Amino acid sequence: MRPQLVLDIGGVLATNLSPLFWQLLAAETTLTEEALYSEYKQQISSRLWTGEISEPDFWHWVSAYAPLLSQERAKRMIDRSLQPLPALGKIGAWSEIADIHLLSNHLSEWVANIIQPIQPYLKSVTISSQAALKKPDAAIFHKAA
């Protein structure tokens, strides 16, 4: 049996949204980065990652804090915050010696551009917003398995 390699996206294949996204977003509000992130964690984080609320719901939440920020510009902030890391370029080579699986707390819309070029090398992709589960819930690991 081939080795199984399960990778996360955030911090492994691409940079995490934090802290850059929250710094950029806070610059559009009257809140500090810490206060804005705290509001996000308390109000919508868990529901966003499990798909209970959608990407449009997230942008609606953002607009309450940054009413002058266009959704297009905010999406560019997401793209700017999710930059490829060196491991992304190694997926093809790693797939020659192991089955590669992705398991990530994320919105599929936000990581589609990261996943698309490596899709042929992946045995499975489990994104929390599609699975309606998030790490560290054991059920998402069972789903990925």
> What separation in angstroms does the CA of 103 have from each of 49, 106, 126, 135?
12, 9, 5, 9
| Domain count along the chain | 2
- Provide block-wise average pLDDT over 10 residues at a time, the chain (145 residues): 95 92 94 95 95 95 95 93 96 98 95 96 97 95 92
Specify the pLDDT at position 18. Answer: 85
Question: Are 37 and 8 part of one and the same domain?
Answer: no
**Across the chain, which distance is largest between two alpha carbons, in Å?**
55
Residue ending a domain, among 61, 81, 101, is 81
- pLDDT given for residue 17 in this prediction: 87
The structure's pTM equals 0.89
Identify which of 102, 109, 115, 100 has the alpha carbon closest to the alpha carbon of residue 129: 109
Range of the domain at 75: 20-81
User: CA-to-CA distance for 139 and 110, rounded, in angstroms?
Assistant: 23
* Domain CATH code at residue 103: 3.40.50.1000
Last residue of a domain, one of 64, 81, 98: 81
26 and 10 co-located in one domain: no
Domain boundary among 81, 112, 132: 81
